[in-house]
Amino acid sequence: MSEVPYYLPVGDEKDIFTAAWERRLPVLLKGPTGCGKTRFLEHMACTVTRSNGDGPSIPGNLVTVACHEDLTGSDLVGRYLIKGDETVWIDGPLTRAVRQGAICYLDEIVEARKDTVVLIHPLTDYRRLLPVDKTGELLEAHADFLLVISYNPGYQSVLKDLKPSTRQRFVSIEFDYPSRDLEAQIIAHESGLDVEWALRLAQLGEKVRHLRPSGLAEGVSTRLLVYAGQLIRQGVAPRRACAVAVSHSLTDEADSQRAIDDVAAAIFG
Amino acid sequence: MRRSINATTLRPVPGLLESQNLERWQRLGEIVRSLLPQPGFQRALSEDVGGWSVEERDAWLDAALAVAPRSARAAVAVYREAPPALRALPSTLRGRLLDILRLAAAAADPVELTALIPVLGALILEIPITERGDALDLALSVAKTYPVAALGLVRCLARLTEEATDDRIRLWVERGFELAKSRPEAARAYFALESRTSNRILHSSPTAASLEEREGVLHRYIQMLSGVPAFVRPGGPFLLRPPLEETPAAGGVVLPATIEILDTWEDNARLYRVLAALLAGRREFGTYAAPDVVTHIRDTEHPAALEACFLLADGYRVARRLAMSYPGLRGDLAWAMKTLQASWQEVPPSMMLLLDMLLAHAIAPQQELLAPWARGAAAVVVPCLTPLAAPAATASDALVTAGLLAALLSFPASHKVSEASLSATAEPSLAAGDDGPQPSAASAEDVAGGDARAPQTAEDISPELLADLQIQLGELAERMTAAGRPLTAEELMRLVESGLISQLAPGTEATFAQAGLYVTQLVGKVLGEKPLARHSRAASSRTRSAELAGAGPMFLYDEWDHVIADYRPSWCCLREVDITEDPGSFFTRTLERYAPLVPEIRRHFQRVRPESWRIVRGLEDGDDFDLNAAIDARAEWRARRSPSPKLYTARARIEREVATLFLLDMSASTDEAAEAGGARRRIIDIEKEALVIMAAALEEIGDMYAIYGFSGQGRHSVEFYPVKTFTERLGAGAKGRIGGIQPRSSTRMGAPLRHSVRKMANVRTQARYLILISDGFPQDLDYGEDRRSYDYGISDTAVALREVEAARIKPFCITVDLAGHDYLRQMCDPQRYMVIENVGDLPRELPKIYQQLVRAA
């Protein structure tokens, strides 16, 4: 990453992460979808100072893994692959990060199977070790290795939730959608819209989130509002942009869609 | 033995009754003498009947005689209370109404008749004056054919004229006659607008927008704009200045059932949106933020006048804030105000119309649309409203302005009004308060002309007159002084012309150093003289508000009436009520009591085959190869490592997609003790134990579940108790609420079942269940008209259960009532219920029932 990704702080999340980084404490990012967790981490990966004094952003210092229910231990740690007549060991993303001293980001960790998740336990306590059974190694993590996980609390079933033994290995930073003014700044920056239009989109976001008690559990994400802004910047009419980027993306329920479209009409005219 | 009427007895009677009425009168006296013996019967003869025709007296006495055999009390009510109730009606209307009464009395429910008599005249006066005759002709035509339906129709005549056009009403009556031919028992509900079919026929129109079709959108719209959960219910006609809500914290918003003011459906639907935005704006911009505002209005000497003006002032404030905050709404508001003003051009003047017109004009000034008779008032009122456009203006500021307007817009006693306008009792005037008819249908000249002694030019306003005026400065005026401006002499002249300025009290000490009077410093006498005192009525109103506010949102549900074979729309009012939690001790004690049972149940549950298939990878045995794992194994073998044996996949029902709502009957009968485990324990406690065990087991296997209770008393007060929602974990709160479940009142099942469907609407699992746990049949104090019959409750519950199934939720009823078979087989299929003969077995049986239910699906 040659350029520091844009991130506008909402609270003290940057200070907390920096402090955790200094001590290499594993971090858990919690928040609804599209509220900036990944962007925050990308930003911080480019701003933290490494142990050798290197400044921001070295290539590959952030390794991201999108977790899913078929994710196995091999997918994280590594596997032998056949290359021609040879059998070679290929490090998985977690092993790579451990060796190189990168930040390993396991996104939506609850989607992964529990027998996969427990692999990270030795890395997240004082040991900072990664056992690689297939090669017989016991890797000690690089001084600059940091494990970050994320998940969306929302509704999680018993089967898809972090075990207490996993949760209690991380420092938690909670995210939520920013206030109207801050969100407008973000939308303006990301989409290129002027502030007045960005404020209207942020106002729409604020209004739609009032439906959270009525079934739209997460409201509209900042990401979707940015998409709407980008569409408007491309010349799409604002109400149409809000329809395709907000109401139709959020819900299939006709009444909710129409109501959101009506609020967009009230805001944009 | 018939009593003879001697001359002494008859002395007050001649002059009031003609001889041909006397026989009826005497007969009535005989019948009701146990309740109203002579001379009381004679003394109760109202002098009003002296002005009636012979035919009218005959009709009145016949009505009393018709109901007398069934209810002497109702006959006395007709005899004694009907004449004064009809006093305000002209003879042209009174005669028809008495004919209706005579036809209806024989078939009417005596209790309903007794309740209706005192308000009979008032019901007719609610109808617009030009439509009263036609409305009564309509009611008479129905009374001749279906006398049982007549009283219900009279009760809703005003609503009919508000909500529908003449053509639509005629069509509605025709359809009502057709329906009643095949189902006479449905006539009464139909003509009283108490059946869904009746409402649908009345409101169906190609251009009318109905609330029913828009409700889902509008309540979300209001909730999004205001940020406060809202639910919408139908009521009243379209009003530009809807009345203030009694309990805004409860979240209810009243919108008209239909809007058919404009020519197209789209325009009428747009009016709904504008009205919804105005009502949401009240919440967003603080109309109800200061609780004293509404209370104070109701506490004043002329609450109607002050509220009407407050609705104007605050309506303007809210509209301006909406226009500022929502650029898109600016256009809608302007369109609505101009369109409404155009539609009012032919409407006769009245005070209420004046206020609406002033509001519309203030929001969207369009001089050519302003009726000439309203221009004088507009010139004075609109400047008073202008400061409320400031972003900092609050509801309290609007109240100050309302006080001023209430004084400015009153009708001075010196005004001459025509006899016609005196008899045209359309709306009460603002200054005179709530009692009695007032001359409000004034002509343009009456409003703008004023006192004959009023000065004709600005120079005519003498310094002495100015010196006589006293300005009482309200403490809130400071907020508005920044926007204030002095009244010019011309404006003062207009005030005097209209007679308005004479309403300000003469001063004692105040003198004026300056020529002008600041509009913003004019605080009317109304506010100045009434301290913000707390009255008991206000206190009880606040208490009720607080109670309802703490009770959570309210919902209206239709109810099935098997007699009319139709739904009664919005018949039941259901509230969600919080349960007081216990410290969790009940939950803990139950787990201890059933310590051996709970693990056993968990093991059984884990063997229950789940609902859906998914591919499971990484197995040592299965239906197919896991190709990825096989390749890895091959590579590891080549690397001389031991490959993993987990090379197979299988289709297995591991993932459970089951959601169950447990609905618990919390009626008073559950307080009874039953034999359980060698001891007598309350049924409710045994049911709670069953829920504890279920919850503990379900937590283990991860099925989604929710627990709710229900009870209530009467259709207006159905109560629904959230114990644990689907998204909530079984934490201290949910455990405490299970422990806090207590017996309540009655068992009205239909509305809670329908509300449960609403609760499950967003649950997107493949299998959804509703398990109803009860100890008896559906029973409530007003469950149907025949209080001795349980058929109404049973049939409504049966229909509600079918609605549950139609929503793709599988219902199952469990009862501990040994007689449960008798009514459960009427309510549902035999496979959909179970009778637990020994209530003590419920904790053990409920998990088994659940297991079988889920497995059988």
**What pLDDT score was predicted for residue B468?**
39
Tell me which residue in B224, B332, B655 faces A259 most closely, judged by beta carbons: B224
pLDDT for res B5: 42
CA separation, residue A259 to residues A7, B207, B214, B263, B555 (Å)? 31, 21, 10, 23, 20
Asked if the Cβ–Cβ distance from B229 to A265 is below 8 Å, we say: no
Kindly report, residue by residue over A179-206, the tens digit of the pLDDT.
999 999 999 999 999 999 999 999 999 9
Backbone φ and ψ for B259, nearest 5 degrees, come out as -125, 120
Give chain A positions within 8 Å (CB) of B326: 266-267
The whole-angstrom distance between A47's CA and the closest CA on chain B is: 38
Whether B615 shows a pLDDT value over 80: the answer reads no
Query: How far does the CA of residue B308 sit from the closest CA of chain A (Å)?
Result: 28
Residue type, B806: A
Residues of B in contact with A134 (CB under 8 A): 636, 641
Residue B682 to residue B674: CA distance in whole angstroms: 6
Higher pLDDT among residues B358 and B822, named by residue: B358
For position B410, what pLDDT does the model report? 65
- Mind telling me how many Å the CA of B600 is from chain A's nearest CA? 20
Q: Output Rg (C-alpha) for chain A, integer angstroms.
A: 21
B571-602 pLDDT, tens digit per residue, is: 999 999 999 999 989 999 998 888 888 777 77
Find the mean pLDDT for residues B703-715.
93
Q: How confident is the model at residue A58 (pLDDT cuts 50, 70, 90)?
A: low
Beta strands at B679-682 and B704-712: parallel, antiparallel or unpaired: unpaired
Pick from B223, B327, B702: CB nearest A269: B327
What pLDDT is stored for residue B737 in this prediction?
95
* Cα distance between residue B353 and residue B237, in whole Å: 14
The nearest CA of chain B is from the CA of A59 a distance in Å of 30
Query: Over the stretch B162-175, which tens digit does the pLDDT of each residue have?
Result: 888 888 899 999 99
Confidence grade of residue B37 (pLDDT, cut at 50, 70, 90): confident
Question: What's the rounded mean pLDDT across residues B722-726?
Answer: 93
Q: Does residue A159 have a pLDDT over 80?
A: no
Residue B547 has pLDDT above 60, yes or no: no
CA A134 from chain centre, in angstroms, equals 30
Alpha-carbon gap, residue B159 to B279, rounded angstroms:
22
pLDDT of B505 reads: 35
When pLDDT is cut at 50, 70 and 90, the band that residue B479 belongs to is very low
Q: Which of A72, A113, A162 to mutate to test the interface with B (most CBs of B within 10 A)?
A: A72
Strands (E) in B725-844, as ranges, are 767-774, 810-815, 833-835
The predicted model gives B214-218 an average pLDDT of 90
* CA proximity to B829, closest of B843, B842, B810: B810
Alpha carbon B652 to chain centroid distance? Answer: 51
Range of lowest pLDDT (B6-10, B480-484, B656-660, B699-703): B480-484
Q: Quick one: pLDDT at residue A154?
A: 63
pLDDT tens for each residue of B597-612: 877 777 777 665 444 5
Q: Write b or e for each residue in A39-65: b if 16 or more Cβ atoms lie within 10 A of its Cβ, otherwise e.
A: bbbbbbbbbbeeeeeeebbbeebbbbb
Query: Angle between the B683-701 and B732-740 helix axes, to the nearest 10 degrees?
Result: 160
Q: What are phi and psi of B232, to 5 degrees?
A: -110, 140
Phi-psi region of B515 (alpha: psi -120 to 50; beta: other; left: phi over 0): alpha
The residue behind tokens 């609020």 is A263
pLDDT for B119 equals: 93
Beta bridge partners of A148: A27, A105
Mean pLDDT of chain B: 79
CB count in 10 Å sphere of residue B229 = 16
**Element (H or E) spanning B661, and its range?**
strand B658-665
Q: Count CB pairs under 8 A between chains A and B.
A: 93
A248's tokens: 């139709």
Q: Is the pLDDT of residue B795 over 80?
A: yes
Q: Would the pLDDT of A71 be above 90? A: no
Chain A residues with a Cβ under 8 Å from any Cβ in chain B: 70, 72, 74, 79-82, 87, 89, 134, 155, 157-159, 200, 207-208, 210-211, 213-215, 217, 254-256, 258-260, 262-269
Identify the closest residue of chain B to A264 by CA–CA distance.
B328
Q: With beta carbons less than 8 A apart as the criterion, state whether B493 and B500 touch.
A: no
Taking the C-alpha atoms of residue B263 and residue B261, their distance in angstroms, rounded to an integer, is 7
Task: Return the structure tokens found at B370.
Answer: 């302003």
Condensed to tens digits (0 to 9), the pLDDT of residues B235-261 reads 878 889 998 887 777 678 889 988 888
C-alpha A86, offset from chain centre: 37
Predicted local confidence at residue A233, as pLDDT: 96
Model confidence at B466, in pLDDT bands (50, 70, 90)? very low
Distance from CA of B704 to the nearest CA of A (A): 8
Q: B328–A72: do the CB atoms touch at under 8 Å?
A: no
In the predicted structure, residue A158 carries a pLDDT above the cut 50: no
pLDDT for the residue B73: 92
Look at B251 and B183; give whichever has higher pLDDT.
Answer: B183
Give the model's pLDDT for residue B367.
Answer: 87
- Residue closest to B98 by CA, chosen among B118, B116, B120, B77: B120
Q: B214, B220, B275, B640: best mutation site toward chain A, by most A Cβ within 10 Å?
A: B220
Instruction: Chain B: give the shortest CA distance to residue A81, in Å.
Output: 6
- Over residues B266-315, the pLDDT tens digits come to 899 999 999 999 999 999 999 988 767 777 887 777 778 888 899 999 99
CA-nearest residue to B326 within chain A is: A267
B704 CB neighbours in chain A (<8 A) are 157
**Looking at the predicted structure, is the pLDDT value of residue B19 above 90?**
no
If you ran DSSP here, which 8-state letter would residue B2 be given?
P
Query: Are residues A246 and A260 in contact, defined by beta-carbon separation less than 8 angstroms?
Result: yes
Distance CA B350, CA B343 (A): 15
Would you call A255 and B216 a contact, using CB atoms and an 8 Å cutoff?
yes
Residue A16 pLDDT greater than 60, yes or no: yes
Interface test with B, best of A212, A262, A267, A268 (most B CBs within 10 A): A262
Q: Is the pLDDT of residue B824 over 60?
A: yes
Q: Which one of B212, B213, B326, B704 makes the best mutation probe of the A interface by having the most chain A beta carbons within 10 Å?
A: B326
* Residues B542-565, mean pLDDT to the nearest whole number: 68
Check CB contact under 8 Å for B223 and A214. Answer: yes
User: How many percent of chain B have pLDDT more than 90?
Assistant: 39
User: What pLDDT shows up at residue B482?
Assistant: 37
**Rounded-to-integer distance, Cα B819 and Cα B387, Å:** 70
The number of residues making up chain A comes to: 269
Contact assessment for residue A105 and residue A149, using Cβ atoms and an 8 Å cutoff = yes
Enter the tokens of residue A85. Answer: 């007549």
d(CA B368, CA B371): 8
> pLDDT band at residue B98, thresholds of 50, 70 and 90?
very high
Q: Which residues of A touch B618 (CB under 8 A)?
A: 72
Strands B718-724 and A171-174: unpaired
B632 CA: distance to closest CA in chain A (Å):
7
Q: How far apart are CA B559 and CA B749, in angstroms?
A: 10
Give the pLDDT score at B544. 37
At B847 the pLDDT is 87
Question: Residue B39, preceding bond cis, omega within 30 degrees?
Answer: yes
- pLDDT value, residue B173: 93
Confidence at residue B484, expressed as pLDDT on a 0 to 100 scale = 41
Of chain B, the percentage scoring pLDDT greater than 70 comes to: 79
- What pLDDT is stored for residue B652 in this prediction? 60
The Cα B540–Cα B64 span in angstroms is 39
pLDDT of residue B619: 78
User: Given a cut of 70, is residue B441 above it in pLDDT?
Assistant: no
Rounded Cα distance, B215 and A256, in Å: 11
Confidence band for B30, pLDDT divided at 50, 70 and 90:
confident
H-state helical runs in B86-195: 91-105, 110-116, 120-125, 132-145, 147-155, 157-163, 166-182, 187-191
pLDDT value at residue B537: 34
* Binary contact (A260, B224; C-beta < 8 A): yes
Query: Which of B224, B326, B333 should we substitute to test contact with A (largest number of A Cβ atoms within 10 Å)?
Result: B224
Measured CA to CA, the distance from residue B360 to residue B337 in angstroms comes to 5
pLDDT of the residue at B22: 82
Structure confidence at residue B521 (pLDDT): 36
Q: Give the helix, strand, coil percentages of chain B, each rounded to 5.
A: 55, 10, 35
What predicted TM-score, i.e. pTM, was given to this entire model?
0.67
Q: Dump pLDDT digits (tens) for A210-267.
A: 988 776 777 899 999 999 999 999 999 999 999 999 999 998 888 899 999 999 999 9
Residue type, B222: I
| The pLDDT value given to residue B744 | 94
How many CB atoms within 10 Å of residue A181? 11
Closest-CA residue to B572 (of B744, B748, B745): B748
Q: Which residue has the tokens 């025509």?
A: B418
When comparing pLDDT for B802 and B621, which is higher? B802
Q: Do A158 and B702 touch (CB under 8 A)?
A: yes
Per-residue HEC secondary structure of B76-104 comes to HHHHHHHHHHCCCCCHHHHHHHHHHHHHH
Q: Closest to B699 (Cβ–Cβ): which among A158, A208, A264? A: A158
Closest residue to A134, CB basis, from B636, B699, B700: B636
- Please list the alpha-helical segments (H only) found in B500-647: 525-529, 536-551, 585-593, 597-606, 627-638
